Structure formats: C-alpha cells, structure tokens
Amino acid sequence: MGLLDGKKGLILNVANDRSIAWHIANNAAKHGATCGFGYLPIGKMERRVQGALAEGGFPDPWLHPCDVSKDEDIETFFSAARDKFGKVDFVVHSLAFADKTYLEKGSFLKTPREVFKQALDISAYSLLGVARAAAPLMPDGGSIIAMTYLGSEKVVPGYNVMGVAKAALESTARYLAYELGEKKIRVNTLSAGPVRTLSAMAVGGIDEMFAHVERKSPLKRNIDGDEVGRAALFLLSDLSSGVTGENLYVDSGFNTVGL
C-alpha cells in the first residue's frame, strides 16, 4: 500500500523536472496520491510544466494558473480545485521570488523597499493566502507544507532578502499551525540544503555553498531533490499525524555544525 493511497493534494508550483516541487509530486504519485498543480502563468510555462510532470508519473495532469501575488488568482485556483477534486488532503507551497539583482554578496544593504516587499509578499505572505483558501477544502483535516532554507536563521552571504522572507515564512507556518490545529490541519516547513534548481542557481555564490556543505556537513555530501521529496512524503502522510508547527531539515546535517 502507498502512504498516500486515496489522498488528493495540490502542489504549487512546479517549474521543471529539477524543481523540488517536481520531486515531491513524483514521490506523492509513487505512493498513490492524486495531484493537481499550480503554475506561474508566464511565457511557455504551462507547456514546460506539462512535460516535466509527464516524466514524474502525471501524463495528463490537472493544471491551473496561479500567480500567488494576486489574491484573485489564489481564489480562482482553489475554486477550480474544489470543482475538480471536491476536497483535498494536502497542499504543498514550493515557491519563492526575490529580484536576483540583490541576491549577490554585499548587496543586502542596497535592497530597495519595493524589492523587499515583493520578496516577502510572494515568498511568505502567499503561504497565508494559500492556507486561507485551502482550509475550506480540508474538512477532514490534512497537511500543508512549505519549503524553506537555513538562510532564514543564519546569515548565508548572497541569500540576503530571501533569508528574511524565509524567516517570515517559517513564522507564518507556526502561527497557521496554531490556528488550524483545531481543524486537524497540520502546517510544517521543510528546510532543504542546496539543490540545483532554477531558483537556487540565481543565488550569488551557490557553487561555493555546494562545496562548503560537502566539506562541513556530517554526511560529507550534498543532498538531492529526491531526498527532499521523500521527507515531504513523511510530512504529507499519516506517518506524521502528530507533527505540526515544525521545521524539518534535509541538509546532510549541515544545520547542526558550528564550524
């Protein structure tokens, strides 16, 4: 039996077959989940996402555009999901954005107000908007997870305003866990080590980060996306029925090392 047999979930937002959202979707499919997907409606994104999902066990995926910086897009997405699925058991928030011009070493002090606001809006506030829209579709409870990174609590040169946004995301998740607990909805974050995704490659000094993790982490290696997908599977399944408001690290133990 699969850990998610009979479960239905929504995943926002798959970008390509290297994204963490893709690895989560792939593992969910292997364990019996029926999934719907959000994507950012720009350029040829829909076609690219369809191709990526076809390789992850979703040959004919339910896709719907969703720009989480717009409340009306979030509302429309979850309304369409209700029409398609009725109710859902889990939601994955795997999205973030910050102007890459300010994701370079030594540029945090230069961050303009609008860039700061945009990063927190898309990367952190969106979890609140998504959870608010998702809760009515989870009458029997469920699981919401969001992706974060160690730069939320420790200075990672070059991560800059995204680190501030991820700190806000983690705090948002804890407050949501408290309020949604009585509805049997669990909310957790998953802190992945560096993975070669599109968003990660925009961070200044990313190659140095990979090398540093390999040298200093207890496991003496970097992680891969599938390891994050398997950890997400735990948080989405009933195996973690007593876990909420937590941050689970998948980073070869790097977060535990002082020097």
Catalytic-residue membership of 175: no
Catalytic-residue membership of 178: no
258 belongs to a structural domain: no
The pLDDT value given to residue 202: 57
27 belongs to a structural domain: yes
CATH number of the domain residue 202 falls in = 3.40.50.720
Catalytic residue among 39, 102, 125, 159: 159
98 belongs to a structural domain: yes
Reading phi first (left if > 0) and then psi (alpha if -120 to 50, else beta), residue 253 is in left
Catalytic residue among 125, 149, 175, 249: 149
Polymer length of the chain = 259
259 belongs to a structural domain: no
123 belongs to a structural domain: yes
Q: How many domains does the chain have?
A: 1
- Helix then strand then coil, in percent of the chain rounded to 5, is 50, 15, 35
The pLDDT value given to residue 37: 96
Q: Is residue 99 a contact partner of residue 119, using CB atoms and an 8 Å limit?
A: yes
The pLDDT tens digits for 135-156 are 999 999 999 999 999 999 999 9
The pLDDT tens digits for 201-223 are 556 567 888 899 999 999 999 99
Residues 5-30: what's their mean pLDDT?
A: 92
3 belongs to a structural domain: no
Average pLDDT of the chain is 93
257 belongs to a structural domain: no
What pTM was estimated for this model as a whole? 0.94
147 belongs to a structural domain: yes
**Residue 172 CA from chain centroid, whole number:** 14
The pLDDT value given to residue 203: 60
Residue 59: which domain range? 8-252
